[in-house]
């Protein structure tokens, strides 16, 4: 080629490169001085709050159609969608649009974010419930859309705990986007969040909230002014020349007039910056190229503290269903190991579950075919899980809905409970069929759903058709007599027992195993001797080998709690006192109306309620205070008025159980009040440690936070733990433990929009005339929360034994059996469930914040393979296996999921 031609070719190439680079510079940050705004259109689908699930689908599905229209019309337009519960029904109801939907997803112009069924609450429900959220959502996106969701999208969620980085990373998320819970408004908008185990995840905080760029004017000059003003609002938080802004509000329609205005804006020669229609992962990649990102270690709580006790029965129901479904999974895994009726791979059953979950309130099968298949049918488990997952929508879990949505939520919970109980019973029957239950009397199986051997209370109802049963005996698995106590008994005209409810202490029940006890009818002439004696005068005292507790007979106050092992008076004043305060807030907020734009963690301090400003249960008296002493438990109970309602409480101690169990009932007849239980301790300058999902952190005193199953207040030498069943609102102030029981409120002065319309009511939130029951417990202890293993106490209180009568029959399993042993004791098992490809999934975490080496899980089965897994149950590195034992190390608060292959027992056993 001639030199002249070469020069011409070089000139053409260079000019072409200049043209290309000029275009790239307009879109690529850092190449020119002109900044870029990454503009992300989206819609925040509400799930259910003012309208029902179906109501919001009717309102929101047309918006997806609109987004597809804009994607077809404007090649540069992009859109972001989250929540499987939103776009899954779209694909089912508009199959004619499915191809276009999937095409835009594959092109990256329609980005699926969130990777969960809904936008859930993450601080009140349990950690395993959040894991199921991610599994359900991400598995659907993998299987139905062929996409791996990497953007965690919790824009409107009310607070975030510092175990989230590890949970999100272990589920394959690469970034986390949120609005609420930052400690102050000076925080950078892009940073790395380091969790309590050391895991970090890139975070995008939206200081202008998720609708900052929604609703701009329609004329170019005003449009330019609007965008310039909002761009400038982001500047103090930005670490680079790029900005990111979201355009979408509650159930909002995509704006069809904006794409032409963006094009016109970018054509302005003196435009202040470039607007780029984008999806979240694009901006995340830009930020990832920055040399330095600040690291933040905060707990992004609390937000909307009133939600911790508004419509409290929903929180209690969530806790109960979580317990039921986790136990059902464990029994299903045991049934699978013992032998499953189908060798069908479980991942295909999971796809079947997604295809079946359309209307969670559809008719539930209760025939024998369900009972024989449910034990190992993954699709049935997911049908039971999905309404629970949906009801973790941040608004529903918080109880801030209208009346008709509340009623719809209760119905969907009822559906899940019925199905969960069917699956649990079917799994138990498969296990029980393998147990040798022959012998005298009625076999009663006590199943322990936790990962360590434990002693706790068991309760069962029995009946006799034979006449002349005058007494009842109980023997353990080796035939040794065991104490029992009759709670209730029916007798015939000859004083023979026909039916009764008994309670006993089941000792050392193996981990994920059982012990067979036997109820033996006695025909001796003496009447039954296992009923409690009563006293209602003198000093009201109950005690066991650990504690002595005294009460005021008339008002019910706990006046002393003496820890015998420490020779220590735990209390500094009357305890288990319920305070009733006037609270002029709403369903979201304590003492004040909602500020819907709240994004900074609340620091308003609460003091212990004072006489004159509150009414107390000890201000009222009753004449029915009574102490009952029996062979298995001692209890104090009392009932009397409280304000315009009623108060009743029962406190129990059991031999061999290091826990004081309390059950309190309240009847509320007032609006705009709240109730808290008070426990003034004798500890001074202690540490307030609260459980979060898969961990625990110290939190400031004087501020109400959402705790999981326990809080602990100790000075290092001794302490008191307060356990709860579905009561997340907890506070320590001036050495007093305060537990929020309930509130009486409605939505208040909420503005119309987002589905909220005139005429919608929320007065069921006042809880008028409802008799609500609350369960909590105290555990005084030596040392701090680690030494006392409070994390175990919380799980034991929330996961009572499963007690079932079984028919006498032969079997190859003995009268006492457990699946596994986990050591050391700070390693806590949270899940055992059927896994893909006939594997078994087991999950543990380190609960004390201490590095732990040589963790051992020993199983009553030969382990043929063990792999570390992520939370989505994808296989990872192999773990060390020796016959029946898996061994590994754990970092502080590390979560580890293990995929096991176990040799099944022979067909005969």
Total count of residues recorded for the chain: 909
Rounded Cα gap, residues 167 and 161, in angstroms: 11
Residue 146, judged by CB atoms within 10 A of its CB (0-12, 13-18, 19+), counts as exposed
Per-residue pLDDT tens for 161-197?
A: 999 999 999 999 999 999 999 999 999 999 999 999 9
Q: Characterize the bridge pairing of strands 645-653 and 660-667.
A: antiparallel
Rounded Cα gap, residues 413 and 399, in angstroms: 14
Q: How confident is the model at residue 282 (pLDDT cuts 50, 70, 90)?
A: very high
On the CB side of 162, CA atoms within 13 Å amount to: 23
Q: What is the mean pLDDT of residues 735-755?
A: 92
Q: Say what the pLDDT of residue 595 is.
A: 87
- Looking at the predicted structure, is the pLDDT value of residue 21 above 60? no
Asked if residue 169 lies in contact with residue 156, where contact means CB atoms within 8 angstroms, the answer is no
Residue 684, judged by CB atoms within 10 A of its CB (0-12, 13-18, 19+), counts as exposed
- Looking at the predicted structure, is the pLDDT value of residue 16 above 70? no
Per-residue pLDDT tens for 94-115?
A: 999 999 999 999 999 999 999 9
CATH code of domain 534-798: 2.70.98.30
Percentage of the chain modeled with pLDDT above 90: 84
- CA end-to-end distance (rounded Å), the chain: 85
Q: What is the mean pLDDT of residues 347-353?
A: 52
Q: Name the one residue in this structure whose structure tokens are 């594997």.
A: 839
Given CATH 2.60.40.1180, say whether it is the number of domain 442-531.
yes
Q: Say what the pLDDT of residue 29 is.
A: 39
Q: Say what the pLDDT of residue 750 is.
A: 81
- Looking at the predicted structure, is the pLDDT value of residue 598 above 60? yes
Q: Say what the pLDDT of residue 425 is.
A: 96
Q: Characterize the bridge pairing of strands 718-724 and 880-882.
A: unpaired
Per-residue pLDDT tens for 470-508?
A: 989 999 999 999 999 999 989 988 888 989 999 999 999
Q: What is the mean pLDDT of residues 232-237?
A: 97
Residues 6+ apart with CB under 8 A from 458: 444, 446, 503, 504, 505, 506, 517, 801, 803
Q: What is the mean pLDDT of residues 737-758?
A: 91
Residues 6+ apart with CB under 8 A from 884: 858, 859, 860, 861, 862, 863
Per-residue pLDDT tens for 823-864?
A: 999 999 999 999 998 899 999 999 999 999 999 999 998 999
Rounded Cα gap, residues 881 and 875, in angstroms: 16
- Looking at the predicted structure, is the pLDDT value of residue 622 above 90? no
- Looking at the predicted structure, is the pLDDT value of residue 909 above 70? no
Q: Name the one residue in this structure whose structure tokens are 């079946």.
A: 356
Per-residue pLDDT tens for 363-383?
A: 333 333 333 343 446 889 999
- Looking at the predicted structure, is the pLDDT value of residue 347 above 60? no
Q: What is the model's pTM? A: 0.92
Closest by CA to 548, choosing from 572, 565, 527, is 565
On the CB side of 110, CA atoms within 13 Å amount to: 26
What class is the 37-114+149-296 domain?
Answer: alpha beta
Q: Say what the pLDDT of residue 553 is.
A: 92
Q: Name the one residue in this structure whose structure tokens are 């400038």.
A: 232
Q: What is the mean pLDDT of residues 308-337?
A: 97
Q: Characterize the bridge pairing of strands 110-113 and 79-82.
A: parallel
Q: Name the one residue in this structure whose structure tokens are 């040589």.
A: 854
Q: What is each CA distance from 693 to 163, 203, 368, in whole angstroms?
A: 7, 20, 37
Q: How confident is the model at residue 27 (pLDDT cuts 50, 70, 90)?
A: very low
Task: Please state which of the four CATH numbers 2.60.40.2220, 3.90.1150.10, 2.10.109.10, 2.60.40.1220 is assigned to the domain occupying 817-909.
Answer: 2.60.40.2220
Q: Say what the pLDDT of residue 525 is.
A: 57
Q: Say what the pLDDT of residue 3 is.
A: 42
* Edge-first strand listing for the sheet containing 840-846: 827-834, 840-846, 895-902, 863-869, 875-878
Asked if residue 580 lies in contact with residue 618, where contact means CB atoms within 8 angstroms, the answer is no
Q: What is the mean pLDDT of residues 645-660?
A: 98
More confident: 342 or 887: 887
Rounded Cα gap, residues 102 and 147, in angstroms: 10
- HEC string for 465-485: CCCCCCEEEEECCCCCECCCE
* Residue 17, strand partner residues: none
Per-residue pLDDT tens for 512-561?
A: 999 999 999 998 855 545 666 766 666 799 999 999 999 999 999 999 99
Average pLDDT of the chain to the nearest whole number: 91
Q: What is the mean pLDDT of residues 571-580?
A: 98
Four-residue CA torsion sign, 822, 824, 829, 833 = negative
């Amino acid at each position: 080629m001639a030199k002249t031609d070469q020069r011409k070719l070089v000139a053409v190439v260079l000019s072409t490169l200049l043209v290309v680079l000029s275009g790239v510079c307009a879109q690529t940050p850092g190449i020119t001085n002109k900044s870029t705004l990454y503009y992300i259109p989206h819609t925040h689908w509400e799930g259910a709050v003012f309208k029902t699930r179906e109501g919001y689908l009717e309102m929101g599905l047309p918006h997806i159609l609109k987004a597809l229209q804009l994607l077809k019309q404007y090649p540069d337009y992009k859109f972001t969608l989250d929540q499987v519960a939103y776009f899954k029904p779209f694909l089912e109801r508009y199959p004619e649009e499915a191809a276009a939907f999937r095409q835009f997803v594959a092109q990256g112009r329609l980005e699926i974010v969130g990777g969960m069924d809904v936008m859930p609450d993450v601080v009140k429900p349990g950690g395993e419930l959040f894991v199921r959220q991610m599994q359900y959502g991400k598995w659907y996106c993998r299987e139905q859309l062929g996409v791996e969701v990497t953007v965690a999208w919790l824009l409107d969620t009310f607070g975030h705990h510092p175990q989230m980085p590890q949970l999100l990373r272990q589920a394959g998320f690469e970034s986390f986007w949120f609005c609420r819970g930052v400690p102050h408004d000076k925080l950078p908008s892009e940073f790395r969040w380091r969790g309590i185990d050391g895991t970090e995840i890139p975070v995008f905080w939206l200081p202008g909230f998720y609708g900052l760029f929604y609703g701009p004017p329609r004329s170019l000059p005003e449009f330019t002014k609007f965008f310039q003003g909002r761009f400038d609002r982001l500047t103090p938080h930005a670490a680079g020349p790029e900005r990111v802004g979201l355009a979408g509000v509650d159930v909002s329609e995509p704006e069809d007039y904006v794409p032409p205005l963006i094009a016109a804006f970018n054509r302005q020669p003196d435009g202040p910056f470039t607007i780029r229609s984008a999806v979240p992962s694009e901006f995340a990649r830009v930020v990832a190229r920055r040399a330095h990102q600040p690291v933040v270690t905060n707990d992004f709580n609390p937000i909307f503290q009133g939600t911790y006790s508004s419509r409290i029965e929903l929180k209690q129901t969530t806790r109960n269903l979580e317990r039921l479904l986790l136990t059902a999974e464990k029994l299903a895994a045991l049934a699978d190991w013992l032998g499953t009726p189908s060798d069908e791979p479980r991942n295909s059953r999971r796809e079947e579950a997604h295809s079946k979950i359309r209307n969670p309130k559809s008719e539930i099968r209760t025939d024998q075919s369900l009972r024989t298949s449910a034990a190992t049918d993954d699709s049935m488990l997911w049908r039971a899980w999905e309404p629970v997952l949906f009801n973790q929508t941040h608004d529903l879990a918080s109880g801030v809905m209208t009346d008709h949505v509340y009623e719809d939520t209760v119905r969907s919970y009822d559906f899940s409970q019925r199905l969960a109980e069917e699956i649990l019973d079917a799994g138990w029957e498969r296990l029980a069929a393998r147990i040798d239950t022959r012998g005298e009397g009625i076999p009663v199986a006590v199943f322990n759903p936790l990962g360590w051997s434990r002693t706790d209370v068991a309760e069962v109802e029995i009946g006799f058709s034979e006449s002349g049963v005058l007494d009842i005996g109980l023997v353990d698995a080796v035939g040794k007599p065991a104490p029992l106590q009759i709670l209730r008994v029916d007798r015939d005209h000859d004083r023979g027992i026909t039916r009764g409810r008994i309670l006993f202490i089941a000792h050392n029940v193996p981990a994920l195993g059982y012990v067979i006890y036997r109820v033996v009818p006695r025909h001796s002439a003496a009447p039954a001797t296992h009923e409690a004696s009563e006293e209602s005068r003198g000093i009201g005292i109950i005690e066991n080998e650990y504690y002595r507790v005294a009460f005021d007979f008339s008002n019910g106050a706990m006046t002393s709690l003496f820890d015998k092992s420490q020779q220590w008076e735990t209390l500094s004043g009357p305890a288990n006192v319920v305070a009733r305060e006037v609270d002029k807030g709403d369903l979201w907020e304590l003492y004040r109306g909602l500020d819907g734009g709240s994004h900074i963690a609340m620091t308003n301090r609460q003091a212990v309620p004072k006489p004159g400003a509150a009414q107390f249960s000890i201000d009222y008296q009753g004449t029915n205070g009574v102490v009952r002493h029996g062979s298995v438990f001692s209890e104090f109970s009392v009932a009397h008025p409280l304000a315009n309602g009623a108060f009743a409480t029962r406190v129990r101690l059991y031999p061999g159980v290091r826990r004081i169990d309390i059950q309190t009932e309240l009847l509320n007849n007032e609006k705009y009040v709240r109730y808290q239980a008070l426990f003034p301790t004798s500890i001074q300058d202690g540490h307030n440690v609260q459980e979060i999902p898969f961990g625990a952190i110290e939190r400031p005193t004087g501020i109400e936070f959402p705790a999981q199953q326990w809080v602990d207040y100790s000075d290092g030498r001794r302490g008191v733990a307060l356990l709860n069943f579905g009561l997340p609102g907890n506070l320590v102030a001036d050495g007093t433990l305060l537990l929020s029981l309930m509130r009486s409120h409605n939505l208040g002065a909420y503005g119309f929009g987002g589905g909220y319309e005139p005429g919608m009511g929320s007065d069921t939130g006042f809880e008028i005339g409802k008799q609500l029951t609350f369960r909590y417990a105290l555990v005084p202890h030596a040392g701090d929360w680690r030494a006392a293993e409070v994390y175990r106490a919380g799980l034991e209180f929330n996961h009572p034994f499963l007690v079932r009568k079984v028919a006498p029959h032969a079997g190859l399993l003995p009268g006492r059996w457990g699946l596994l042993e986990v050591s050391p004791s700070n390693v806590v098992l949270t899940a055992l469930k059927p896994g893909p490809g006939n594997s078994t999934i087991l999950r543990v975490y380190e609960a004390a914040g201490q590095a732990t080496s040589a963790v051992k899980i020993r199983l009553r089965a030969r382990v043929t393979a063990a792999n570390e897994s992520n939370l989505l149950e994808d296989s990872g590195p192999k773990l060390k296996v020796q016959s029946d034992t898996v061994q590994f190390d754990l970092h502080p608060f590390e979560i580890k999921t293990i995929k096991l292959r176990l040799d099944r027992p022979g067909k005969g056993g």
